[in-house]
Amino acid sequence: MTIEAKPFNEQALQAWLDATEDEGRFESAPEQKSARPTERAFSTSWIWVVATVAFFFYLGVGLWMIYGADFAIGDAIARASSARAIAHSRDQHVMAVGFYWMPLPAFAEVPFMAVFSRLGVPALAMVAPTALATAMTIPILARIGRDLAVRKWIAATFVTLFALNPYTIFCAGNGMSEAWLVLALAGCFAAYLRWTDKRRIRDLGRLGLWLAVGQMTRHEMLTVVVVFCVLVAIESAKGRRVATALTVAAPSIFGLFAWTIVSFVITRHGFWKAILDGDVADRVTGPWLPDERTVATVATYSATLSLRFAPGIVLAVLFAGFGRELFGHILDVDGRPHLRAVAIVAIGGLFPAQIAFLLLQRASYGDPRYYMPLILLFTIASFIALNGRPRIGGRGAALVVCGLAGCVSSFVVIGDPGISAVTGEPAVIRALLGTEQSAADSNPARSVNLGDWRAFTADLDRRLRPGDVIVLDTSVAAAVHLFSRHPMQIATELDSDSAQQLQLPNPGYTWAVVVPGNYGSLNPTVQALLRGTPPRGKRWEKVDVPLTPAGFRGSPELWHLVDAPTSPALLTAAAQPTKPQETGQ
Amino acid sequence: MNTENATSSSEFFAERERLWRATYGLRMVAPHLSAHNGMTLRQRKAVICAAAVVILGLALAPRVTGIICISAATAVYTAVIAVRLLLIVNSIGHDPAPVEATAFLIPDDALPFASVLVPAYKEPEILRELLGALSELDYPADRLELLLVLEGDDDETIATAREILADDTQGLSRCLRIIEVPPAEPRTKPKALNYAVQLAQGDLITIYDAEDRPHPLQLRAAAYALATGGPDLACVQAQLNYFNPEQNLLTKWFTLEYTMWFTQFLPGLVKLGAPIPLGGTSNHFRREAIMAVGGWDPFNVTEDADLGLRFHRMGYHIGVIESVTLEEANSDAINWIKQRSRWYKGYLQTWLVNLRHPIRTTRALGLRGFVLMNLFVGGTPLLALLNPIFWFLCLLWFTLQPQFVRDLFPAGVLYPAMACWVVGNFLYVYAFVLTAAKRDDVRLTKAAFAIPGYYVLMSFAAYKAFVQLIFAPTYWEKTQHGLDSATKAVIDLRDQVVTTP
């Protein structure tokens, strides 16, 4: 059989295309229409400008807290010190991140520290990541508002209320983990709300990854992961539920698993945090906490603080239309789309409930910072309550008032020594208002007086000569490690050779910082070194440094290895240890 | 009966000429683009020099040399993982509209004449299913020819084909021809295609493998895409996927890999305007384009990938269409390693061919194209070769913690390497999990979590390929098909995978 080839008849095809284009036969398959009205969708490009401004504002606040108010939370300094040990130290290694906390906030500081430490401003590396995390939360919130068809200026109002809430600002500048937690939660909700709307795998993946970011930030996220898994499973088709939940949970499970394995391999303790929490459980106390820990007292404490942070949340849930969504679902009136309301309420309730539980177990200080996610959840709840409304109306106005009330209340909470003295936050408000420390400041000894530490470190830096090596324990003198201009001359317990080196007759250290009577893996060993026999022809001499002893958990001491005096009596006197100070810690 | 037999002397000489062109055409026209010569002298010198420098460095300054090697490997890992993740992120939410519904509406007289080339070698057992699948193609019979391309000495397959054709239960005799390729070395698929394309009369040239089950509307979709894609669009690649993912863990992994490749990497590369390593089947070419670039390289064992790059060098581009061809996933580990080692060997061949004149290649592909070519075509087998070395170092560190491992990883190397290892590997695995979710198959989701086991098989294949590249560069490792014949599953899964409005 012979087949005659026929040329590609592009003209015929083109003619047909021209004829049919008007009929719309070549339109792409229609995309799944959003379940919500989108006619009010607005561009969010402007919010990046706002976020950039916010970043520099938060950065400025953070630096003011350190250098203006002499305030930093000890844990933040410890994390930054770990980051410095990883990025810029005598013995750079990733293990220095420590295994007590989940590692993301400290790891996030590493690239900043690699730059800022070399530029001589390591404190910036402590503040910049949290400022960045909070600034990044702003566009995500704006996008949630847009996705929920909230009008632009209404969204801007609520985003501003979030961004300028004093506790948001405080957490953005304090170098702690709350800013990362809030960013992760915002990301989770943005992805979850989009997934409920469009059912795209991409959003499911984003939800999983944001949950992992939260999980690698704080242990409390584990329950949030569970809640989101349950929610996506409920909303998935039968037969797909386990796979969908697994897809969402996988990154968090991997993160937790990988970190536990690494922790086990390196420290031989897979659950280091749990072990340490168990150790401190019995010692957790504070005048702001209920004396008698019962379900009723801890629940009251937790509920009270929740309402002080987000007073509008009750209004949002019960009265502002949000409750209809919530109860509409429960009564099966409106169907599944309103599971987003359940998500807000479930996760919003998780945080106070967890803190109450830990308080009951005497395993938490009940720090107000832990309630900070409620400010974010209030903002999202407001968007849901105002979903698709063309005008702000009475409901919106009430929510705005609640948001403003939350801002004022947060300010009061930070400054209230009766609540917030866990890590010394009232010092920030005192510095802001220019007031003196009052007798009501219940636990000043807990706060690290950063000004003193910085003066101490500056004095030490001035004394250092090339070739000198300082030995210290970062768990009691992290500020020295963080603020010193000579990180390459500081040996710490984070260095892989320190413990071994200290066993030698002449470990090669010429300076030592110790805090007698305090804990730390290296602190007692360094004290033993000072009490022991110094190298031939040398002696350890205590150096006078400018200090305000009341500001410390125990007074730090600076010792210097100097040439030995000729008199044996002086040698003995110099080696006499300082009596450990009782601090009650 | 419609066969090509040289019965007269003029036909004999024409056949010889076709065979010569099929075998040496590209080599004569563009020897620098043919894999016939393997590595050039300059490349050999470069490799020997590099090896000598490394050996000398290891002897004189082992630590520094080791750090440099580890740094280079880490840079390759970082770049490959970053590019792949970028492509995945770009395309994971990309749901292109299926073109088949549109293509269905094209009037028959607007369609080009299409030649479907189906090379087969020693595969008599799957011919019947193949012809059954081809008979389902929705294309006007007077504009279609099906060319069954068989080796002249493959008597068994030829006999079976003739037998099936004689029965003609599928009504294919109108448009089916058997092309017998005269026996000659190299015994490769590209040589057979080069031979057959000279006898094909269509303006649309399509390649299917013997075990393929193309979507019935795919030819129309390809014709539509080529007609509307502009004159520079040389080829459109249909998606490939498997009809037997449920068979065992290996077929599940293979299915995930193909789904990822065809639904995420390829669309991502097309979007970037990067050179595309074509898949070996379900390619639909403009006839003038395939002829203009010299056809397939008969000495390259992944002639498809090579052809894709050659198109890009010559100023053409490649598109993808949202139409699926189902194939049989390799369900036997040994058979899989044979197939994969051929692919890796071909990728290495293609890489070496394109690196003969790096500057000329960069000019031809553009800098971005050149970088992406290195990361995809070179990086894929290279990473599979490097993986076992790093696994070993890892194992050594976690068990014995020897000092030399620590010395090899100073902070500047350790952190990127760890980020690659922990974050990169996880995100890669997670991308497979999301791919499984996209396919809406719970069984695949479970398999996705175990995908690191697949990496081990890949490394076996890579080392086999590396050895073969040295000792038998043009040897075509035949993949055995027909290990699964669940025809019903074909239909069910096709309906499930191919989305039509």
| Tens digits of residue pLDDT in A358-380 | 888 888 888 888 899 999 999 99
How much is the pLDDT for B345?
93
How much is the pLDDT for B132?
84
Is the pLDDT score of A522 beyond 80? yes
Closest-CA distance of chain B to residue A132, Å: 21
Q: How confident is the model at residue A282 (pLDDT cuts 50, 70, 90)?
A: low
C-alpha B377, offset from chain centre: 11
HSE at residue B299, side-chain half, CA atoms within 13 A, is 21
Q: What is the mean pLDDT of chain B?
A: 86
- Best interface-test mutation with A: which of B224, B394, B433 has the largest number of A CBs within 10 A? B433
Are B63 and B340 in contact by the 8 Å Cβ rule? The answer is no
**Domain assignments of chain A as residue spans, ordered by start:** 45-429, 450-575
Among B93, B143, B442, select the one facing A243 at the smallest CB separation.
B442
CA distance A330 to A342: 9
Contact with chain B for residue A569, Cβ under 8 A: no
Enumerate the residues of chain A whose CB falls inside 8 A of the CB of residue B422: 258
Closest-CA distance of chain A to residue B112, Å: 4
Mean pLDDT of all residues in B378-405: 91
Size of interface A-B (CB pairs under 8 A): 112
- Best interface-test mutation with A: which of B203, B291, B407, B443 has the largest number of A CBs within 10 A? B203
Enumerate the residues of chain A whose CB falls inside 8 A of the CB of residue B436: 243, 247
Q: How confident is the model at residue A291 (pLDDT cuts 50, 70, 90)?
A: confident
Is the pLDDT score of A333 beyond 70? no
Contact with chain B for residue A266, Cβ under 8 A: no
Lowest average pLDDT, out of A146-155, A288-297, B89-98, B156-165, goes to B89-98
HSE at residue B236, side-chain half, CA atoms within 13 A, is 23
How much is the pLDDT for A317?
64
Contact with chain B for residue A222, Cβ under 8 A: no
Higher pLDDT, A286 or A155: A155
Burial class from Cβ neighbours inside 10 Å (0-12, 13-18, 19+) for residue B139 reads buried
Interface of A with B in 362-401 (CB under 8 A): none
Mean pLDDT of all residues in A153-177: 94
How much is the pLDDT for B415?
80
How much is the pLDDT for B339?
92
Q: How confident is the model at residue A421 (pLDDT cuts 50, 70, 90)?
A: low
CA distance A94 to A88: 11
Cβ separation A94–B415 shorter than 8 A: yes
Closest-CA distance of chain A to residue B35, Å: 33
Is the pLDDT score of A233 beyond 60? yes
Q: What is the CATH number of domain B1-501?
A: 3.90.550.10
Lowest average pLDDT, out of A56-65, A101-110, B97-106, B411-420, goes to B97-106
Q: How confident is the model at residue A170 (pLDDT cuts 50, 70, 90)?
A: very high
Mean pLDDT of all residues in B187-209: 92
Among A6, A16, A201, select the one facing B438 at the smallest CB separation.
A201
Is the pLDDT score of A314 beyond 60? yes
CA distances in angstroms from B469 to A122, B90, B301, B466, listed in the order given: 53, 34, 10, 5
- Which sign, positive or negative, has the C-alpha torsion A567, A571, A572, A578? positive
- Nearest chain B Cα to A496, which residue? B406
How much is the pLDDT for A512?
94
Q: How confident is the model at residue A229 (pLDDT cuts 50, 70, 90)?
A: very high
Is the pLDDT score of B200 beyond 70? yes
Nearest to B116 by CA among B282, B294, B301, B304: B282
The CB density around residue B369, as the number of other CB atoms within 10 Å, is 20
What is the per-residue burial (b if ≥16 Cβ within 10 Å, else e) of B433-457? bbbbbbbbbbebbbbbbebeebbeb
Pairing of strands A538-543, A557-563: antiparallel
How much is the pLDDT for A338?
66
Pairing of strands A490-492, A470-472: parallel
The structure tokens listed for B473 are 């560069």
Q: How confident is the model at residue B175 (pLDDT cuts 50, 70, 90)?
A: confident
Q: How confident is the model at residue B498 (pLDDT cuts 50, 70, 90)?
A: very low
Is the pLDDT score of A262 beyond 50? yes
**Domain assignments of chain B as residue spans, ordered by start:** 1-501
Q: What is the mean pLDDT of chain A?
A: 81
Cβ separation B175–A3 shorter than 8 A: yes
Cβ separation B442–A94 shorter than 8 A: no
Enumerate the residues of chain A whose CB falls inside 8 A of the CB of residue B145: 3
How much is the pLDDT for B425?
85
Enumerate the residues of chain B whose CB falls inside 8 A of the CB of residue A10: 227
Among A3, A247, A265, select the one facing B437 at the smallest CB separation.
A247
Mean pLDDT of all residues in A512-537: 86
Enumerate the residues of chain B whose CB falls inside 8 A of the CB of residue A201: 92-93, 434, 437-438
Higher pLDDT, A191 or A422: A191
Is the pLDDT score of A2 beyond 50? no
How much is the pLDDT for A580?
38
Mean pLDDT of all residues in B398-403: 85
Is the pLDDT score of A284 beyond 80? no
Token pair 């304090």 in the structure block, residue: A174
CA distance B275 to B305: 9
Cβ separation A10–B93 shorter than 8 A: no
C-alpha B34, offset from chain centre: 17
Is the pLDDT score of B190 beyond 70? yes
Higher pLDDT, B79 or A45: B79
Closest-CA distance of chain A to residue B262, Å: 17
Give one word for A321, left, alpha or beta, with left for phi > 0 and alpha for psi -120 to 50.
left
How much is the pLDDT for A288?
74
Closest-CA distance of chain A to residue B365, Å: 29
Are A41 and A404 in contact by the 8 Å Cβ rule? The answer is no
Enumerate the residues of chain B whose CB falls inside 8 A of the CB of residue A208: 430
> Dihedral of the CA atoms B278, B282, B283, B284 (nearest 10)?
-160
Higher pLDDT, A136 or B12: A136
Residues facing B150 on adjacent strands: B120, B180
How much is the pLDDT for A439?
54
Name the packing angle between helices A373-385 and A339-360 (round to 10°): 160
How much is the pLDDT for A346?
87
Strand arrangement of the beta sheet that strand A538-543 belongs to: A490-492, A470-472, A511-514, A557-563, A538-543
Is the pLDDT score of B429 beyond 80? yes
Is the pLDDT score of B224 beyond 70? yes
Is the pLDDT score of A530 beyond 60? yes
How much is the pLDDT for A289?
79
Is the pLDDT score of A440 beyond 60? no
Cβ separation B426–A4 shorter than 8 A: no
Pairing of strands B233-242, B283-286: antiparallel
Among B105, B203, B422, select the one facing A25 at the smallest CB separation.
B105
Enumerate the residues of chain B whose CB falls inside 8 A of the CB of residue A210: none
Which residues are CB-contacts of A251 (< 8 A; sequence separation ≥ 6)?
Answer: A208, A209, A211, A212, A215, B426, B430
HSE at residue A185, side-chain half, CA atoms within 13 A, is 31
Cis omega before residue B186 (within 30°)? yes
Please write the tens of the pLDDT for every residue from B316-349: 989 988 888 998 888 889 999 999 999 999 999 9
Is the pLDDT score of B477 beyond 50? yes
Enumerate the residues of chain A whose CB falls inside 8 A of the CB of residue B449: 250
Mean pLDDT of all residues in B165-171: 75
Is the pLDDT score of A515 beyond 70? yes
- Nearest chain A Cα to B444, which residue? A243
CA distance B433 to B439: 10
Among B204, B433, B442, select the one facing A8 at the smallest CB separation.
B204
Among A6, A28, A243, select the one facing B445 at the smallest CB separation.
A243
Are B382 and B76 in contact by the 8 Å Cβ rule? The answer is yes
How much is the pLDDT for A368?
87
CA distances in angstroms from B289 to B168, B232, B235, B317, listed in the order given: 34, 8, 8, 10
Closest-CA distance of chain B to residue A495, Å: 13
How much is the pLDDT for B499?
41
Is the pLDDT score of A217 beyond 90? yes
Q: How confident is the model at residue B30 (pLDDT cuts 50, 70, 90)?
A: confident
- Best interface-test mutation with A: which of B85, B100, B113 has the largest number of A CBs within 10 A? B113
Amino acid at A231: L
Lowest average pLDDT, out of A196-205, A453-462, A518-527, B490-499, goes to B490-499
Which backbone phi and psi does A561 adopt, to 5 degrees?
-85, 115
Among B97, B411, B501, select the one facing A92 at the smallest CB separation.
B411
Enumerate the residues of chain B whose CB falls inside 8 A of the CB of residue A12: 107, 109-110
- Give the three-class secondary structure for B177: strand
Is the pLDDT score of B377 beyond 80? yes
Angle subtended at Cα A100 by Cα A99 and Cα A106, rounded to the nearest 5 degrees: 70
How much is the pLDDT for B272?
83
For residue A216, the surrounding DSSP H or E stretch is: none
Is the pLDDT score of B151 beyond 80? yes
Q: In terms of DSSP H, where are the helices of A485-582?
A: 498-501, 523-531, 568-575
Contact with chain B for residue A257, Cβ under 8 A: no
Enumerate the residues of chain B whose CB falls inside 8 A of the CB of residue A25: 102, 105
CA distance B299 to B33: 11
Contact with chain B for residue A118, Cβ under 8 A: no
How much is the pLDDT for A5?
43
Closest-CA distance of chain A to residue B99, Å: 8
Q: How confident is the model at residue B194 (pLDDT cuts 50, 70, 90)?
A: very high
- Nearest chain B Cα to A253, which residue? B426
- Which sign, positive or negative, has the C-alpha torsion B21, B23, B25, B28? negative
Are A209 and A242 in contact by the 8 Å Cβ rule? The answer is no
Q: How far apart are the two ends of chain A, measured CA to CA in Å?
A: 99
CA distance A176 to B436: 37
Is the pLDDT score of A52 beyond 70? yes
Closest-CA distance of chain B to residue A252, Å: 11
- Give the three-class secondary structure for A234: helix
Mean pLDDT of all residues in A74-100: 88
How much is the pLDDT for A316?
66
Mean pLDDT of all residues in A337-358: 84
CA distance B266 to B259: 10
Please write the tens of the pLDDT for every residue from B245-263: 888 999 999 999 999 888 8
Among A5, A204, A242, select the one facing B201 at the smallest CB separation.
A5
Contact with chain B for residue A17, Cβ under 8 A: yes
Contact with chain B for residue A333, Cβ under 8 A: no
Contact with chain B for residue A261, Cβ under 8 A: no
Contact with chain B for residue A7, Cβ under 8 A: yes
Contact with chain B for residue A244, Cβ under 8 A: yes
CA distance B284 to A179: 53
Higher pLDDT, B421 or B205: B205
Is the pLDDT score of A276 beyond 50? yes
Higher pLDDT, A92 or A179: A179
How much is the pLDDT for A408?
92
How much is the pLDDT for A27?
34
